[in-house]
Amino acid sequence: MNDESIKTINYIFYLQTKIEPDNNYYLLAEILSKLSINLLPITANELKIIDRTKKNYLISIRNDFASANYFNIMKKSFLDSAMNTGKISLFDISSFSEIESASKYNNKNVYRYFQLPLNLKQVAIAVAVDYFRDRNLIAEWPGGKRGKLPSMVNES
């Protein structure tokens, strides 16, 4: 099989807080599809059982009290531990404040906060840039490179 024939599918999960996705989902999905990213709605129960062997990306919109309460319950039950281990990267779009441990998660590059009201097109572009930057990041050893001794050949 040729490497060119393998096409990667780019997707980000959208946390669904209601039975039917709201208008924000459809707007984000349309904008992200133009940037070759699929936006997939997912409930908290489905999110708990997805494959945790690779890093997943999640968009959450908290723009009313019901969605904020749903997010807080999910955050306490499993989202904090998933973000601590680096298995979920969260894009938090909210009219509420940042989560209490935001600085710790920002250092791990698993949390990005967007304060509402914002233009969803700008948010989608920022999410896509972060998504592709994170996916294409090559992991490097944090200890630097091994020191080498000078060659003994040039001693005359």
Burial label, 154 (beta-carbon count in 10 A; 0-12, 13-18, 19+): exposed
Give the C-alpha distances (Å, rounded to integers) separating 94 from 34, 68, 120.
Answer: 24, 9, 12
- The pLDDT score that the predictor gives to residue 114 is 87
Q: What is the pLDDT of residues 17-38, one digit of tens each?
A: 878 878 888 988 999 898 888 9
Q: What is the pLDDT of residues 66-89, one digit of tens each?
A: 888 888 888 888 888 888 888 888
- In the chain, where are the structural domains located? 34-135
- The pLDDT score that the predictor gives to residue 3 is 52
- The pLDDT score that the predictor gives to residue 121 is 87
Q: What percentage of the chain has pLDDT greater than the value 70?
A: 80
